[in-house]
A and B are shown apart, each in its own frame.
Chain A
């Protein structure tokens, strides 16, 4: 598989999390908060490294743990950020947490984006809703290494303007001259001066050239399906289109069974896959 393998200690009991503490909680949208986490063990924190696209399990002993994409870039050495949508039992409990609270984390897991193999290429990023979390990590990483890549175009969509995450970053991305950033919302809203329309439609109307370009898409299942179809029509071949999948996960290490897509496990073989990896089983 053409992705970056995880790093992590194999000697340690794989189910035992590292103790960590929240240093900051950021309200992104009414339902999404970003949690900045620091490991209690200084040695663990300073040794921590990962590739954009890799995931982690964050939890509260006594409540449970859930899988999240890391939304901070590898160059951030002082914290790890998970952006969490309040959806179920565990994420609701996590949303109750404040800076200073203790959490337990298993990270990094899975395989990240094969960024090194994209050197010299144009990069197209299509994100929807909370699906922007791993793409934020990726985009900030690409910007850290800006001169190694060609053009960077970003399409980021959400239902309403209030559902767009990462307001601070977006202002910066819109200002920058060296990337082309388009935010769009499904329905027109008073006070919204940006684009309207779902990501696949905006993508097709912009007609980005497929030549020498790698495309990355992440978002809710429906958005992914239509975006991948749109990219196919725009001429992107399956080995040049990457997605990062989400499935219900428990163990995070390829043992408990449930997150497979065909013969591949999202937790260990993914969550980053090229369409060529996935075949007919997505």
Chain B
């Protein structure tokens, strides 16, 4: 194991910023304690005591990104379209992601990087992901919304991370969990250490075993889903905050009558318009249909298709739900049904 002294953190961030955009949890200006991952500038204070409202997924799936730009021109008396694909080449590093954030990346990799070769892969996601270094801060404490201990490795999860920092007296123990992490841990900012890892947080738990099958069994029980989704405002906060939710919309935006681009932006499966067809048909017209799909996608379909649960227990959807809905209550209700 290696050790990083507390006072070396700014030096590490500085070192990283020489070759990458560094993102770190920071208090949003003019707020008391709203924390978001955002680009770090020399001298800025990093807030590691509070949880970021949004996950780190923005680094691989920006809230809005251009897929290509287009230009119309006249050629030989005919209109001609020219298309130029965007190819992000950004190097980025995230400092003090949590194990749940990093695992969210690993969970999305199973789809976007298409390890199975069964579908198309996504070049922009791949470019951003391969240019990203993930420095994870292990959790020794948690709050009442956290439930990562429901998953096999809990707070000790290493998937998606390059290096894990464990809080210790005077600094952090550092454990590399990828080749990129090893390169980082070899920097002279770190020294060798024989300290033991601290005890990690143990969160509230919800039983997930057999959930996929239960969801399948009670699919048709719409009254149950109406009760379970009761109060949902279809606002989409849970999707935006989630480290694993990745649904997106695609839209065109013109810059002039000759030029513009095609973009994608985050979408949310709880939005009515998500499945609304122009004919008027909507296969998921009620919050109940949408909530059923949301839960089933996370705990049944995605595990079936991609071998991963589409949830990492970060608790953001619980902390931030304006209607006070708790995903864990829904899971317990499904299991009790």
Contacts and interface: CB of A to CB of B under 8 A. Distances in A.
Contact of A256 (B119, B250, B278): B250
Of A88, A254, A258, A261, most B-chain CB atoms within 10 Å: A258
B50 interface: no
B252 interface: yes
Interface residues on A, range: 35 or more
Given A19-B83, A248-B277, 16 more contacts: A13-B123, A62-B260, A63-B252, A221-B281, A254-B111, A255-B112, A255-B248, A256-B247, A256-B264, A257-B297, A258-B269, A261-B283, A263-B301, A280-B219, A280-B220, A281-B219
A256 B83 contact: no
A87 B281 contact: no
Interface of A: 8, 10, 13-17, 19, 59, 61-65, 87-89, 91, 100-102, 104, 220-221, 246-248, 250-251, 253-258, 260-263, 268, 280-281
A124 B226 CA distance: 39
A260 B252 CA distance: 23
B119 A253 contact: yes
A250 B248 contact: yes
11 contacts: A14-B122, A16-B67, A61-B83, A91-B278, A100-B78, A102-B80, A102-B81, A248-B275, A256-B267, A260-B293, A261-B283
A85 B85 CA distance: 30
Of A100, A101, A102, most B-chain CB atoms within 10 Å: A102
A64 B274 CA distance: 16
Interface of B: 67-68, 70, 72, 78-81, 83, 85, 111-112, 119-124, 219-220, 246-252, 254, 260, 262, 264, 267, 269, 274-279, 281, 283, 293, 296-297, 300-301, 304-305
Contacts of B274: 248, 258
Nearest to B79: A102
Closest 6 CB pairs of A and B: A88-B278, A257-B247, A61-B70, A263-B301, A253-B120, A14-B120
Contact of B120 (A59, A87, A254, A262): A254
A102 B246 CA distance: 32
A13 B85 contact: yes
B260 A255 contact: no
A221 B254 CA distance: 34
Contacts of B277: 246-248
Nearest to B217: A280
A246 B123 CA distance: 27
Contact of B262 (A61, A247, A261): A61
B293 A64 contact: no
B67 A247 contact: no
Contacts of B281: 220-221
Contact of B297 (A63, A246, A247, A260): A260
A138 B267 CA distance: 35
Of B68, B250, B254, most A-chain CB atoms within 10 Å: B250
A27 B54 CA distance: 50
Contacts of A101: 79
A44 to B, nearest CB: 14
Nearest to A86: B278
A227 to B, nearest CB: 16
Given A251-B248, A251-B250, A268 B119 contact: yes
A73 B79 CA distance: 28
A274 to B, nearest CB: 18
B250 A257 contact: no
A261 B296 CA distance: 11
B215 to A, nearest CB: 10
Nearest to A103: B81
A262 B79 contact: no
Nearest to B303: A263
B220 A62 contact: no
Contact of B68 (A16, A87, A253, A256): A16
Nearest to B273: A248
Contacts of A59: 252
A255 B248 CA distance: 8
Contact of A255 (B120, B293, B300): B120
Contacts of A62: 70, 72, 252, 254, 260
Nearest to A253: B120
Contact of A257 (B68, B123, B267, B276): B267
B301 A64 contact: no
Given A13-B123, A61-B70, A62-B254, A256 B249 contact: yes
Nearest to A101: B79
Contact of B275 (A13, A17, A61, A247): A247
Nearest to A260: B301
Contacts of A256: 247-250, 264, 267
A250 B260 contact: no
B159 to A, nearest CB: 20
A250 B297 CA distance: 18
A61 B81 CA distance: 8
B271 to A, nearest CB: 10
Contacts of A257: 246-248, 267, 269, 297
Contacts of A10: 120-121
A250 B262 contact: no
A263 B300 contact: yes
A98 B83 CA distance: 21
Contacts of B269: 257-258
A258 B247 contact: yes
Nearest to A87: B278
Contacts of B72: 61-62, 102
